[in-house]
Amino acid sequence: MIESWRWYGDLDKITLPEIAQTGATGIVTALHDIPYGKVWPIEAIRARQAAIAADLDLHWNVVESLPIHEAIKKGDGDLDPLFANYRQSMANLAACGVQVICYNFMPLLDWTRTDLAAPVAKGGTALRFSQARMAAFEIHMLKREGAEADYSDEVRAQASAWIARATQQDRDTLLTSIMAGLPGAYDRYDIDSLRLALDGYRGIDRDTLRANYARFLAEIIPTAQDLGIRMCVHPDDPPRDILGLPRMVSNADDIEWILGQQDALENGLTLCSGSLGANPVNDVPAIAHQFADRIHFAHLRNVTKDPDGSFQEAAHLEGDTDMPALVAALLDEEDRRRQAGRADAEIPFRPDHGHELLSDIGSGTHPGYPLIGRLRGLAELRGVIAGLGYRSQG
């Protein structure tokens, strides 16, 4: 497996020399300064590659992500120019030798959390999704029509109790936390602009969004086949409908539907153990076995779930997912690919969403992407991989 590390370029507090010291060699990044729907120029791609490769034994091995314009998700207007731009960006990346593209099809928001600094028992902080706080946001702050029906009586009562004691700063912090998953330097939504954005999805149900996603795949995957690019969709995070918007990639049935729309190796999956692991119905190692040949990239992290639907980022070898079993499934697939003579036998992975530990705290890194917390995760995963490799040779 190829040890990789997500880097936000000039927006990142963590430097490439620091990343090199972790031992990871693959850099997972994107051109976050380019607006959605615009072409990524070859010159900009090469400039990013040159910055990464400067005497550090690093290389840009995965794009995360090449964003999909909201108009494509909504099926809104003349989409031909947007699809053409997306294909041209793919061609430019392929011309520069970058051939794995992670993307998502989540409406409006990327990953969503309600707490960016939930305390961890032995010190440090973690990302958390509180069902009660999300309910407080939707019902009492956003005042989304129909939101009450999406939450249990108990959660609604907890939400009412929280909002009753919340200060304006508490409310502002909650909004900031929910917006934190949006990548890059783009402006986040405030309450009014989020309501307006949600209005743009009125009448778009799960079937409509699926149809729009199927069109995206039909427009893009043949180009990926021509270019030798591996497209790999990231699961929804959290893996459930939020803000009244349907989600497309939350369980094994969803993944099977997506991969079946274009039955090609280039139509693949980013196996995110944290996103899938937050859904109680998902057996993540089993999902890895089921779709092993279409996994082109892996995010390895762990979560601990609560009965009400809340969850918190756990240490990489703790939480509800059996990480050694998951890693074993990926290593088995690598062995199968080697025996089949596939050039892409090794699967790139990155430690995802680490705890803020020690000097991470207050350092201002992107939420969920501290240095020491992810280094701890990488070291633990490295140990699991080494141990399983030794066992397989014994």
Is 32 tagged catalytic? no
The one catalytic residue among 8, 352, 355, 360: 352
**Residues near 47 by beta carbon (within 8 Å), at least 6 away in sequence:** none
Is 140 tagged catalytic? no
Is 272 tagged catalytic? yes
The one catalytic residue among 272, 296, 316, 360: 272
Is 234 tagged catalytic? yes
The one catalytic residue among 86, 189, 201, 369: 369
Nearest C-alpha neighbor of 103 from the set 229, 263, 15, 203 = 229
Q: Which residues pair with 268 in a beta bridge?
A: 232
Cα-trace Rg, the chain: 20
The one catalytic residue among 151, 201, 234, 236: 234
The one catalytic residue among 299, 316, 355, 360: 299
Distance of alpha carbon 302 from alpha carbon 315, whole angstroms: 6
Distance of alpha carbon 254 from alpha carbon 302, whole angstroms: 21
Distance of alpha carbon 361 from alpha carbon 387, whole angstroms: 31
The one catalytic residue among 69, 316, 353, 355: 353
Q: Which residues pair with 348 in a beta bridge?
A: 2
Catalytic residues: 234, 272, 299, 352-353, 369
